[in-house]
Structure formats: structure tokens, C-alpha cells
Structure 1
Amino acid sequence: MSAGLRPRRGLAGLATSLVLEHGRRKKRGDALTTKASQVALAKAAAEAAAISASSSWVLACAAIALVAGAPGIALAHKRRGDAAAAPARALANMAAASLSFLGVGYSLAFAFNSLAPTTFPLRWFGALDLASMVNVSTDALVDGVPELAWAALQLAHAVLAAAIAGTPSFRQLQNHRAGGAVSAVFAALFVAVVYAPICRLLWAGGFFATRWNALDFSGSIVVHVAGGAAAMGYYVFGGTLSARSAKPAEMAAPLTETTRSAASNAHAIGVALLWLTTLALVGGSTVVAGASAATAILSTHAAAAAGLLTWQLVDFVFPPTVMPEAEGARGMDATMHTSLGAVAGLAAASGVAGFITVNGGILIGIVAAAAARIVRGMGAGAVHCMGGAAGAILLGLVASPAAPFYGTGTPLTAASQTGVQIATVCLTFAYSFVVGGLCAFVGAVVGAVFGGGNGGDAGVI
């Protein structure tokens, strides 16, 4: 959710002042004011308890997403030839993305600099006042929770986006000695120069949010469109160099029954982890563990379920032009790729979960899966990008007054909001594709210079 106008205040300072005032009034023997201060202290205690409960919910959701996100992406989008390398590359990607976000990404996204809010184009990057989180107050509140807890949830979003953007490096570098370094370099650059500005524009009072009223609840645009577009840019800008580290003969080898079973199991686990990650992120974005979180989680789950079944139905009515045997030769069983419909549904629901009900989630899942199936041959990034774009664009049409966050800037008219969402998606895609591709090229150069060719264990970073 947008944090451009988020209130910041210190609960510790409030409680301390109330205690001191209570003591002063008690010494004066003012019974009435003493009673009033007692009531104020009781309210402060109740508020502190509510903040503690919300903080616990947000931190639990952030921890789940951090642990499950990157491995889920790696397993959900792997091929047989990279079975050993993908998780290792994903861990390198996650570590680098985390340090990049904590070091500079959070500050670039959410710190306010001296530029006027209307200055274009920047306000794309914030100041470095919050670099390494050193100046983040321990008692400052953001959206009703301590800022450090809120930052942990933002870190989980950034790690998931970097994992989506890095899927090409998981697959192309399975036998490259510098493969882990390439994934790490790309992830660090992506978070700093792609994710942070897009996050700022939408979630930190940037141009898209304040001037256009663009909406993105938990990452359809910021995470899935930006990450998916960067992954597509990776293939274009960095794929030529990275592909030298692959073993085409191994990647083309047909699956045996043993490897097919192992690949199917790993893929199912990956999709399940990604499913869990997305539910945690949308739940945590509501801040409070209550009816609003339940509605967002159920709507997202419904979108994923509808997307999976829609993809299977479309495959049944319009069989893929690539025969199952050919899919298997490339490392993915034909029955496995139908679960990508769930991925498309999750990407679509992320950005709208707070503004829709279950029925809206089902509709978005159906449309997102049908759209993503068209571009499935363009890679994992295209599935995430198309799914996220479909959900963001449909927001103005499926937003429901019964949804928990409908009144917080939700579209006044479907037509105007749809136009805003389309423009935001297109600009996000263009920026992420080009700049993310350049980040991939830098990473690929690192691999070409320091990798020394193929060789080494696929599972060793």
C-alpha cells in the first residue's frame, strides 16, 4: 500500500509523557484530572497492545514470505537440467537482494529528499538518510506498526521481485563457476535501480500514486510486472553471454521416469511455496489480522485456484501446439506447466486483493490465466508480468464496495482508473525491461570475465 502520507509518531514518547503528567496531577491532588489521565493511560495501553498484535502479524507474514519466496520461484520455474543449480542460485539471489534492499534500496524507495514532490522525473529515487537502516527510529510507526516491522514486509516484497527477475540466471548458469556471483550481482543491481524507483513511484507517495492515483495493493505492478519485465530483459540483454555456460545437450536430454517424477514433485513444491508466499504478503499488507486480512487472503486464493483450473480447461479445449514429448525433452512435463495458471492468478490478485471480494478474485484469476497462457513460451517472467498486468488493469472493473480497502483511494470510475492502471503498467514494463536488462548484462559480463567457462558442480555456488 502507498506510504507517501503515512503517519509517523513515537508510542514510547506518548506513554512517557502520560506517565509524567499523571504523576504531576497526582501530586496536586486533582482527583478529576488524575482520573482523566488514568483513562488516557488505559487508552495508551490498549493502543500499545493493538500495535503489538499488528506487529506480530506483519512480522510473521514477512518471515514466511522471506523464507518461502525465492526457493518457491526457483522450483516452480525450473527445468530438469538446472534441478541442482536453481535453489543455489535462488539463495544467492535472495541474499544479495536482501543486503541491497537493507543497504540502499529501502532508503532509495522510502526516504524523503529535498526535491519538491512535483519535480519530474526524480522523486524517482529517495535520499540515503535511511541507508543500512541506521536512522530508522525504533519507536516510529508506519501504518500503525513499528517502521522496522513494516520495513521487514517491504523486504519480503523486494526479495520476491528479485527472485522473479532472476529466473533466467537460475536456469542458464547451472554449470558456471561464477553462477552464484552472477545471480547475486544481478539481484543487487535490480533492487537498487529497478525495484526501488518503481516502489517509490507507487508505494511512497511518488508520481504514479499522488498524481495518477494508481493502485497496487501488494505487488501486481511493483513485484510481478517489474520483476517479470526485468526477467524478459535478462533474456534479451544478458542471455547471449549467460547462455555460454549452459549445456544444451544436457538440457535437451529426454526425461526418464525417475527424473520426470522428481521434477514434477519439485515443481509442485515450488508452486505451493509461491502460493504460500503470496498469501502471506497480501495478508501482511492489511497490517491487522482480522476480517480485512481474511478477505484479502481468500480473494487471492480464489484467484490462484481459478487460474489453475482455467489454464487446464484451455489446454483441454485448445491443446498446446508443442506435444508433451517435446515439452518433456525441454525439461518440463506437459502436465506441470498447467500449474502456471495458479502463478498467473497469484500475480494478478496481489495488487487488487484489498479492493475485491472472492468473486472478483475468481474473475481476475480466469482472465489472468487465459492471458498468461498466450505468452507462456516467452518464459517465467512473461507469465508473472502478464498475470500482474491483467490484475492491475482489471482493478477498476472488479473493485467492490464490500472489500475492506475500497474506500482508501479506490477508483471513482472504472474507466478512468483502468486508463491510469494501463499507463502505469506500460511505463513500469518499459523501465524494468530496459534497466533490468542492462543489470543482467552487467551480471553476464561478470560471469564471462570471472567464470572461466563451464565446469564445477551444478549445485555449488
Structure 2
Amino acid sequence: MNESLRMRAAKALMWIAGLGLPALAHAQDAALDPADSGDTAWLLAATLLGLLLVLPGLALFNAGRARAQSLASVMTQTAAVVALVSVLWIVVGYTLAFGTVSNGWLGSGNAWMLIDLGNVRQDTLVPESAYALFEMVFALVAPALLVGAWVDRARFGWVIGFAALWSLIVYAPIAHWVWGGGWLATRLGTVDYAGGLVVHVSAGVSALVVALLLGRRERFATAVASTGSSPLLTITGAALVWAGSLALAGGSAFAAGDDAAMALVNTHVAAAVAALAWLLLDRLKGAKPGPTGLARGVVAGLAIVAPAAAYISPGMAVVLGILGAVLAKGAARVVQGHLQIDDSLGVFAGHGVTGAAGTVLTALVLNPAFGGTGYGPGMDLAHQVVGQVVGVVTVAAWSAIATAIAALMVSMALPMRVTREDELAGLDKASHGEDAYQPD
């Protein structure tokens, strides 16, 4: 009897111990996981908030500045581009941009379909899955910005085909050169904290090329003079873009620390100052300040501060914000007024020019004498200027050439431009649906 009791007691103890084994194994796995839970939580939150920049931020910002007949088309194009590029990023985009470095020009195919991700991303304390998701938001912003270049006249089918090809042959290589351990960063020391070069310059230059290929709208002069069909949508979209950009700036530190906080402060200050500067410029010109001008100022400030957001003092962010408004407003006047290039919503002026200026000025504002955090190992002002200028020239040249090739390749199968009748009516059969278009 006593032997039987002892056996039962032993079995009971073994069963109780067995209940703890899964928890023990999990605890051991957790101890081996080098990812920091706080940094990971911050990055995931920044990713979700960053999506406000793309959907609905850019969709509303662009739609509000288009005419009423094009509102649904602009929003549909933006959403479709985001959906398609999201899938492409998971399948092949991420590995092209951030796969294991092979020759400095493109990432290798180790992470296609995200099948070979490390526990943590190199040089960070966050899981590579979280890193890939965060970088996807930047990959979505760039082609979504391009929608503003062809408002009122590009066919929906061509838009989708072009955006897909552009994300792979323009954005992915550039992201690798600067952020993925490619040649611009490792050989020249080119710096771009939150997308001034990778996103804004690439999208801005590409927008200018597309605008030249498409030609001007039928009612170009009237369209340029218009502030859009819904300033309320424009300012609402700009507010979401503002908040989303703050999230992307803070998340680009990949850690919940001082760099993230400083990036948030500088990005916010630059956007606020640029918005006020744009309103002041409107007033000095004799125009009535309005929501569209304020919204465009916000975007200009966000673009010019992005390359150096975590590396400068708030005082320098104020200076950059003023410069962003002046440069964007002046460039828009030159491109659309003097050169008569129909970049519908001023993507080149608002993003390309300001992003390039911010990237080059980063070489100067990094100097501790101006409140900057200083240069990297082996770098000084002269070397940094070379790295930044070569970065801008290279990205601009590649964006222009590859964009022209992609646009023309897609146009061989899918016409670029809607018919004159559809353009004047503001209808695009593909983006509104066949039922919404009734021919005469």
C-alpha cells in the first residue's frame, strides 16, 4: 500500500513538473532572443501610425487638390498602388532593397517572400519582420506621391503597371544604395535619415519625367490656377501626412530613445514653420492665406527636414522649415509658370527640390558648430558634401532614366493617357468602373 502511494505521488510530481516545461522552454527561448521588446513595440506602433501618411493622408491631400470629377479616380489610384506595392514588397521588394549585401548595388534573394529573416535586423534590436514591415511604409509612400503628377490624364491600367515596375527598378535599388548597406552609404558616407533622398528625391524627379512624357492637360492654365475642389480634404490629408511623417521619423531611429524623440521634435517644428512661412509668402504676394497653401507648406517642411531629422537641433529645423517653403513655392512657380510643365500637383517642387536641398544641406547641419550631432567615422565636412551631392545626382539620374524606361515599357501594352473626351469629362473607365462610364 505504501509503495503504491509513493508511486502515485511520484507520478503526480512528474505531471506537475511537466506542466512547467513549456513555460520553461519559452523562457529559455525568450532569453536567447536579442530583440528589445520596448524598441519593437515602438517600431510596430510607428509603422501603424505611418500608414496614416499613405492611406488616407496622401489620398485625401491629392484628391482635395484635384477637380471634383477626378476625386474618386485619385483616391482609387492611390489605394490600388498601395495595395499592389505592398504585395510586391513582401514577395521581392524587401530582398532587393535589404537582402544580404552582395555587390553594393542590390540585395541578394535570401529574403524573397520573407522566408529567410533573422531574429533581429543587423545593427538594431528589433526583429527583422518588424523592420521589413516598417520599411514597407517608405516603399509605399514613394509611388503614392507619384499619383499627384498625372492627375486628370493617366489611365488607371498604366498607373498600376508603372507603379509596380517603378517600385522594383527605381525605389528598391535606391533604398539599397542608401539604407541597405549599398555603395552610397558604405563608400561615400551618404546620409539620409528618414527618406529625403530615397523617397522625396526619387519620387520628385520621377514625377517630373512622367509629367513631360504625358504632356499638359487640356485645361492646363485653369488647372494650375485652381486650388482644387475641396480645400477641406486637402488640409485633412495634410494633417494625416503630418502625423504619419512624425511616426516614420521617430521610427527610423529603430529604438525608443533620444534619437527618436529628437527626430519627432525636429520634424514637427520644420513642418509647422514651413506651413506658417507659406502663408506669409501668400500674404506678401497679395493672395489670401488658405488651407491649401498651409497644407503645401507642411509637406515642404517635412521633405526638407527628413534627411537630417535626428541629427540637428530644433533651431536648425526652424531654418530648414523656412527654406523648404521658399524653395517649394519658388520651384512650383518656375516649373508650372515659366517652363509650363504640367506636374499636376507639384510633386517635383514640393518633394524633389526640397528633398534634394535637405539632403545636400545635411552635410552642413551635421557640423556640431550648428548644433549637429557630428560626422561619422572618417568623415568631415568636405567628404560629407561629396557624399551628399553625389547621392542626389546619382539618385536623380537613376530615377529619371529608369522612370522613362518603365513608363514607356508599360505604355507599349497599356496606353498612358486617357482620351481627350474622358479627360475633359474627368472620367477614366478603368478607375471608375465600366458601369460608371456611358459613351455617347
Contact residue 84 and residue 458 of structure 1 kept, 8 A: no
Aligned: 1:99 with 2:75: no
Equivalence for 1:206: 182
Q: Per the alignment, do residues 225 and 98 of structure 1 end up closer, same or farther by CA in structure 2, a change over 3 Å counting? A: same
Equivalence for 1:87: 75
Alpha-carbon distance, 1:92 to partner: 1.0
Aligned: 1:356 with 2:312: yes
Residue from 19, 41, 47 that aligns with 1:56: 41
Q: Secondary structure at the residue paired with 1:406?
A: coil
Equivalence for 2:432: 460
Alpha-carbon distance, 1:337 to partner: 3.0
Aligned: 1:149 with 2:105: no
Equivalence for 1:278: 245
Q: Could you list the per-position Cα deviations for residues 104-157 of structure 1 after superposition, in whole angstroms to 9, with x for gaps in the alignment?
A: 211111223654xxxxxxx322222221212224x2433110001001111001
Q: Secondary structure at the residue paired with 1:182?
A: helix
Counterparts of residues 128-139 of structure 1 (less than 5 Å): 128-137=109-118, 139=119
Distance 1:388 1:231 in 2: 13
Q: Secondary structure at the residue paired with 1:211?
A: helix
Q: Percent identity?
A: 30
Counterparts of residues 390-429 of structure 1 (less than 5 Å): 390-399=357-366, 401=368, 406=373, 409=376, 412-429=379-396
Contact residue 182 and residue 447 of structure 1 kept, 8 A: yes
Equivalence for 1:340: 296
Distance 1:319 1:446 in 2: 48
Q: Secondary structure at the residue paired with 1:92?
A: helix
Q: Could you list the per-position Cα deviations for residues 389-437 of structure 1 after superposition, in whole angstroms to 9, with x for gaps in the alignment?
A: 1211111222265999936728943343223212211221111122123
Aligned: 1:163 with 2:144: yes
| Equivalent residues, number | 388
Counterparts of residues 32-43 of structure 1 (less than 5 Å): none
Distance 2:113 2:150 in 1: 27
Equivalence for 1:66: 51
Alpha-carbon distance, 1:445 to partner: 4.3
Alpha-carbon distance, 1:298 to partner: 0.8
Distance 1:141 1:347 in 2: 26
Q: Per the alignment, do residues 90 and 458 of structure 1 end up closer, same or farther by CA in structure 2, a change over 3 Å counting? A: same
Q: Per the alignment, do residues 61 and 413 of structure 1 end up closer, same or farther by CA in structure 2, a change over 3 Å counting? A: same
Aligned: 1:290 with 2:257: yes
Equivalence for 1:36: none
Matched residue type, 2:376: G
Equivalence for 1:380: 347
Q: Per the alignment, do residues 407 and 249 of structure 1 end up closer, same or farther by CA in structure 2, a change over 3 Å counting? A: closer
Distance 1:401 1:48 in 2: 37
Q: Per the alignment, do residues 58 and 249 of structure 1 end up closer, same or farther by CA in structure 2, a change over 3 Å counting? A: closer
Residue from 155, 158, 161 that aligns with 1:185: 161
Distance 1:171 1:358 in 2: 39
Matched residue type, 1:360: M
Contact residue 165 and residue 381 of structure 1 kept, 8 A: no
Alpha-carbon distance, 1:360 to partner: 1.6
Equivalence for 1:220: 196
Q: Per the alignment, do residues 149 and 449 of structure 1 end up closer, same or farther by CA in structure 2, a change over 3 Å counting? A: closer
Equivalence for 1:4: none
Distance 2:251 2:173 in 1: 22
Equivalence for 2:7: none
Distance 1:161 1:233 in 2: 15
Aligned: 1:236 with 2:245: no
Distance 1:447 1:133 in 2: 31
Q: Secondary structure at the residue paired with 2:188?
A: coil
Distance 1:204 1:232 in 2: 26
Distance 1:98 1:284 in 2: 19
Distance 2:203 2:113 in 1: 23
Aligned: 1:434 with 2:401: yes
Any gaps of 5 or more consecutive residues in structure 1?
1-40, 116-122, 325-332
Q: Per the alignment, do residues 404 and 458 of structure 1 end up closer, same or farther by CA in structure 2, a change over 3 Å counting? A: farther
Matched residue type, 1:432: S
Counterparts of residues 318-333 of structure 1 (less than 5 Å): 318-319=285-286
Q: Could you list the per-position Cα deviations for residues 178-209 of structure 1 after superposition, in whole angstroms to 9, with x for gaps in the alignment?
A: x1x32221211111000111111111221111
Q: Secondary structure at the residue paired with 1:198?
A: helix
Equivalence for 1:302: 269
Q: Per the alignment, do residues 403 and 314 of structure 1 end up closer, same or farther by CA in structure 2, a change over 3 Å counting? A: closer
Contact residue 142 and residue 199 of structure 2 kept, 8 A: yes
RMSD value, Cα = 3.4
Q: Per the alignment, do residues 449 and 87 of structure 1 end up closer, same or farther by CA in structure 2, a change over 3 Å counting? A: closer
**Most deviating of 290-299 and 441-450:** 441-450
Q: Secondary structure at the residue paired with 1:99?
A: helix
Provide the TM-score with structure 1 as the length reference: 0.75
Matched residue type, 1:124: W
Alpha-carbon distance, 1:247 to partner: 6.9
Distance 2:44 2:281 in 1: 39
Q: Could you list the per-position Cα deviations for residues 324-366 of structure 1 after superposition, in whole angstroms to 9, with x for gaps in the alignment?
A: 8xxxxxxxx9752343121111011111111012112111111
Distance 1:196 1:428 in 2: 12
Q: Per the alignment, do residues 140 and 397 of structure 1 end up closer, same or farther by CA in structure 2, a change over 3 Å counting? A: closer
Matched residue type, 2:385: T
Aligned: 1:109 with 2:109: no
Matched residue type, 2:305: A
Distance 1:389 1:456 in 2: 34
Contact residue 90 and residue 170 of structure 1 kept, 8 A: no
Q: Per the alignment, do residues 429 and 250 of structure 1 end up closer, same or farther by CA in structure 2, a change over 3 Å counting? A: closer
Distance 2:162 2:247 in 1: 26
Matched residue type, 1:93: V
